[in-house]
Amino acid sequence: MPVDTTADSGPLLHAEKVTMRFGGLVANRDVDFTIPRGSIVSLIGPNGAGKTTFFNQLTGMLTPTSGDIVFDGASLVGRSPHEIVELGIGRTFQNIRLFGAMTVLANVMVGRHTRMKASWWASLLKLPSVRVEEEATRQRARELLQMVGLKRRYEEDWARNLPYGDQRRLELARALASDPKLLLLDEPTAGMNPGETQQMTGLIKRLRDELDLTVLLIEHDMKVVMGISERITVLDYGEKLAEGTPEEIRANPAVIEAYLGKQATSA
Amino acid sequence: MDLPMRRALFTGLLGGLAGVHVGLVGMIDSFQGRDTIADLITLGSMLPLLILLLVGWRAASPVKSAQLIPTGARTFILGAAAGATAGLILAALAALITAVNLRWILVNATPGLAEILQFGQGLVVGSLILIVGGALLGLAGASLHVVPPAIARSLAIAFVVSLAVALLEPFLGAVLRNLGLDAVEEVFFAGGGLTLVGAIVVFGLTAAGIYAWTTRGEGARERVAAMPADRRRNAKLIWYGVLFLLLLALPQLVGQRLSEVVGTVGLYVLLGLGLNIVVGFAGLLDLGYVAFYAVGAYTTAVLTSPSSPVFAPELPFWGALPFVIIAAALIGLMVGTPVLRLRGDYLAIVTLGFGEIARTIFLSAWAQPAVGGAQGILSIPPPLPFERDPQAIYYPILLFCIIAAVAATSLASSRVGRAWNAMREDESVAEATGVNTTVYKLLAFMLGAAFGCLSGALFAAKIGVVFPQSFDILVSINALALIILGGMGNIAGVVVGAIVLVGLPELLREFAEYRLLIYGAVLVAMMLLRPEGLLPSRQRQAELHERESDEDQYAETSGEETGRPVVTI
């Protein structure tokens, strides 16, 4: 039964029987997955469970061996990453991957690339329309930097010179610059101390409300996952192990077993 | 012997060996004919002198690995020890040459070389001069670490500038004479270099200027930054206007013969600007850039020359230009498409191949009916309806250089330039941020090809003939070396790079023979001392001098890779 991912109340993204094989290795097997509009959903699982592989199929870095992923009415299968950004999916990376030798502002402005129209010859001639668009982009980039809480004085600094926590914020601003409907966050609090982690989860929630976003995150920190998610999907050995609200997941014996081993459940 | 002293002696040894090498390849001898400071120091003696200074400077610098910083008298001792060591080795070389005839293996080991090294003072006195002089020069080099950094910097830059002015004597002297300032020329220049007065004035003024700029420059920069935007724009416009007028007058200022050199420099500026789009902006290391140059030259030749074998519509230069652009777009696509999936080293090797393929095709029997094979194509008409005149051809070259410079500047700060930079920084992230990397790679190749082809077209029209031999890998290397030297991503850098690497060898015949040796030395020195180039764009500077404390920022943490415990259920 086809799922309508365009309706206002329905899911924004629906993945059906997604399988990803690398030679003999099956990284994802028949994963069904749904992200309701406006929700914050987490994807968790032990190391090597296939979370990042699944993520990469959503962003077009990988193409599923079989199965289909429908986002906002369009299939993502076979599309290249930049087309998927244009459709409205923005992402951040597990290990921060900024454009290190570009300014903070330029990083965010690159993020807006798909929403800009200036062609190469118009840019070359610096047509008035290009100047207007450039200025608007700069304004928008500044708004986003402010929104994620980066100080104005960092604007002209090199991205790689920012403190770690601010690099995470900048990556977030860059992802937001493409006006995504769905924001994919790959371990947004990795390497952060408890204070920074708390700020980041607060920020994610606030952004979701202010920008009308839907958020999917991969996260290892259970405090973060339980505190922020409305729904959680657990992957183990490439297959979906469980799905539900944080409470349901916390009580699910299969999940506890996957995380702590058999003794934990019997103890 | 402690670590700094051991290093000082080792540095001296290396410096001495470098001096021996420079002497035995014949550089000292053949640079002897040109004075740096008239009747005082020849360019030939400048080489060991420079080496001794550098050795002293290096020997007294902090030992990074052990975090030892030589201070006080120690600095001087280290510098003098290193300088004396290097001097000793040079003295030994001179003695050896005098005692044994080595010319049957080392053609340049002549008595003349020994005489230059010993300052014509014979074995004993000459050797003493070398060793003591070496120690003194080493000491002078070392003293740069003792004086305040601002002064050391001013002195070092003033030294380099004075040397550059001395080397540019043929050019600057001609300009002064053509301006009718013969009197000034006579005071400042003589014997292919500066006069003593000239050297003192140039050195003094530069040192004072740089010192003022380093110590008080901050204030001036702030005042400029505080100026209202429209006034700043006016100041900029005036500056560009003056520069433009100077450039317009240049052929008249330097005269017929040097206009030829200026024109060649201009062609390389154009090449450099084009290659800079591909390498500097988009980060695609193209070692076969000569292919574009060749296609531009041959397209022009075939379309305009009455003597081109089969196809002879004999268009005027400007009529052929649109076809050159079309050819550029096509060749850009042809080179770009197969290498879309290649990165870094692999891309470099494949493009290197393309450069050779282009030359081989133009040389081949297969293409001979169209492009004349090894005989090339002759009598290509000049772009302007005058006889072939280097002062006239300069203007179209200038025109296209300005177009290229303006185009590169506006692209650099646009959506397109940002997309290229993002691609250079991290291709897969650029793609995941919404940049269609395929399209932007091809665009970089096509625009790069356009400037390369234009440069080739002007080259063909400038010299009137094209041969396959003109398009060997050296053109690619020249173009790449000049943007590396000048500073990648910066237009002024490209101009400076072209002047140093293309203009100087044309001006000084002595250099031409050692061109590749000097290239090698300059590039190695640049990579060690100033990897961002002489006039870097701010971007490259950040990239290459990023905080050296990357390691002690957070290690790249990730649960997935470190297997950090994750359980708090």
Q: Tell me the per-residue pLDDT of B96-149, one tens digit each, with 9 for 90 and over.
A: 988 888 888 888 888 888 888 888 888 889 899 999 999 999 999 988 888 888
**Cα separation of B362 and B369, whole Å?**
10
Q: Under an 8 A CB cutoff, do B421 and A80 touch?
A: no
Chain A residue numbers touching B407 (CB-CB < 8 A): 124
Q: Under an 8 A CB cutoff, do B559 and A47 touch?
A: yes
CB hemisphere CA count around B282 (13 angstroms): 29
pLDDT reported for residue B528? 80
Chain centroid to CA A7: how far?
21
User: What residue ranges define each of the domains in chain A, with the CATH number in brackets?
Assistant: 1-88+180-267 (3.40.50.300), 97-174 (no CATH)
CATH code for the structural domain at B232-539: 1.10.3470
Residues 6+ apart with CB under 8 A from A214: A12, A13, A35, A36, A37, A38, A39, A40, A41, A181, A182, A183, A208
Best of A113, A117, A155 to substitute, by most chain B Cβ atoms within 10 angstroms, is: A113
Query: CA nearest A87 in B: which residue?
Result: B434
Chain B residue numbers touching A109 (CB-CB < 8 A): 415, 418
Report chain A's mean pLDDT, rounded to a whole number: 90
Q: Are B167 and B504 in contact (CB under 8 A)?
A: yes
Burial of B385 (0-12, 13-18, 19+ CB in 10 A): exposed
Burial of A174 (0-12, 13-18, 19+ CB in 10 A): buried
| B67 has pLDDT over 80 | no
Confidence label for B484 from pLDDT (cuts 50, 70 and 90): confident
Q: Under an 8 A CB cutoff, do B558 and A190 touch?
A: yes
pLDDT reported for residue B225? 74
Q: How far is B376 from chain A (nearest CA, A)?
A: 35
Regarding an ipTM greater than 0.90, the answer is yes
pLDDT reported for residue B212? 87
Confidence label for B312 from pLDDT (cuts 50, 70 and 90): low
**Cα separation of A215 and A220, whole Å?**
16
Chain A residue numbers touching B435 (CB-CB < 8 A): 82, 110, 113
% chain B with pLDDT above 90: 36
pLDDT reported for residue A217? 93
Q: Summarize pLDDT for B212-250 with one digit per residue, the tens.
A: 888 877 777 777 777 777 888 888 889 999 999 999 988
Q: Are B267 and B306 in contact (CB under 8 A)?
A: no
pLDDT reported for residue A207? 93
Sheet containing A182-186, strands listed edge to edge, beginning at the edge strand earlier in sequence:
A89-91, A182-186, A214-218, A40-44, A231-236, A239-244
Q: Does residue B309 or residue A24 have the better pLDDT?
A: A24
Q: Summarize pLDDT for B408-425 with one digit per residue, the tens.
A: 999 998 999 999 999 999
pLDDT reported for residue B265? 94
Angle at alpha carbon of residue B183, lines to B180 and B186, rounded to 5°: 115
Closest Cα to residue B466, out of B457, B453, B455? B457
Name the residue facing A191 among B547, B557, B567 (closest C-beta): B557
| A6 has pLDDT over 80 | no
Give B385-393's long-range contacts (Cβ < 8 A, gap of 24+): B388/B464, B389/B256, B390/B251, B390/B256, B390/B257, B390/B259, B390/B260, B390/B262, B390/B263, B390/B462, B391/B251, B391/B252, B391/B256, B391/B259, B393/B263, B393/B458, B393/B461, B393/B462
Q: Summarize pLDDT for B358-383 with one digit per residue, the tens.
A: 999 999 988 888 888 888 888 888 88
**Cα separation of B501 and B519, whole Å?**
8
Query: CA nearest B414 in A: which residue?
Result: A123
Two structure tokens written together for A226: 């339980």
Residues 6+ apart with CB under 8 A from A218: A42, A43, A44, A51, A52, A55, A94, A185, A186, A187
Query: CA nearest A160 in B: which residue?
Result: B546
pLDDT reported for residue B544? 53
Name the residue facing A178 among B407, B429, B434 (closest C-beta): B434
Q: Are A71 and A5 in contact (CB under 8 A)?
A: yes
Render the burial of B359-370: b for 16+ CB within 10 Å, e for the rest. bebbbeeeeeee
pLDDT reported for residue B562? 37
Is the Cα torsion angle A213, A219, A221, A226 positive or negative in sign? positive
Confidence label for A90 from pLDDT (cuts 50, 70 and 90): very high
Size of the A and B interface in Cβ pairs below 8 Å:
152
Q: Under an 8 A CB cutoff, do B559 and A125 touch?
A: no
Chain B residue numbers touching A267 (CB-CB < 8 A): none
Average pLDDT over residues A140-149: 94
Q: What type of residue sits at position B49? A: L
Report chain B's mean pLDDT, rounded to a whole number: 85
pLDDT reported for residue B406? 93
Domain boundaries of chain B, sorted by first residue = 1-146, 149-215, 232-539
Residues 6+ apart with CB under 8 A from B286: B275, B278, B279, B335, B347, B348, B351, B445, B448, B476
**Cα separation of A67 and A59, whole Å?**
15
| Residues linked to residue B190 through DSSP beta bridges, in sequence order | B193
Report the length, in residues, of chain B: 569
Q: Are A220 and A45 in contact (CB under 8 A)?
A: no
Closest Cα to residue B404, out of B470, B334, B472, B457? B457
Query: CA nearest A49 in B: which residue?
Result: B560
Q: List residues in chain B touching A: CB distance below 8 A.
A: 407, 410-411, 414-419, 421-422, 425-426, 428-437, 443, 447, 539-540, 542-543, 546-547, 550, 553-554, 556-560, 563-564, 566-569
In terms of average pLDDT, the best of B197-206, B254-263, B267-276, B486-495 is B267-276
Q: What type of residue sits at position B191? A: G
Q: Under an 8 A CB cutoff, do B433 and A221 touch?
A: no
Q: Under an 8 A CB cutoff, do A106 and B418 touch?
A: yes
Q: Under an 8 A CB cutoff, do A116 and B415 touch?
A: yes
**Cα separation of A225 and A249, whole Å?**
11
Name the region of B192 (left: φ>0; alpha: ψ -120 to 50; beta: rest).
Answer: left
Confidence label for A65 from pLDDT (cuts 50, 70 and 90): very high
Q: How far is A246 from chain B (nearest CA, A)?
A: 10
Q: Summarize pLDDT for A205-235 with one digit per residue, the tens.
A: 999 999 999 999 998 888 889 999 999 999 9
Q: Summarize pLDDT for B514-562 with one digit per residue, the tens.
A: 888 888 888 888 888 777 777 766 555 555 554 433 433 333 333 333 3
Chain A residue numbers touching B446 (CB-CB < 8 A): none
Name the residue facing A260 among B542, B560, B567 (closest C-beta): B567
Q: Worst-scoring range by mean pLDDT, B1-5, B237-241, B321-325, B537-541?
A: B537-541
Q: How far is A46 from chain B (nearest CA, A)?
A: 8
Q: How far is A33 from chain B (nearest CA, A)?
A: 21
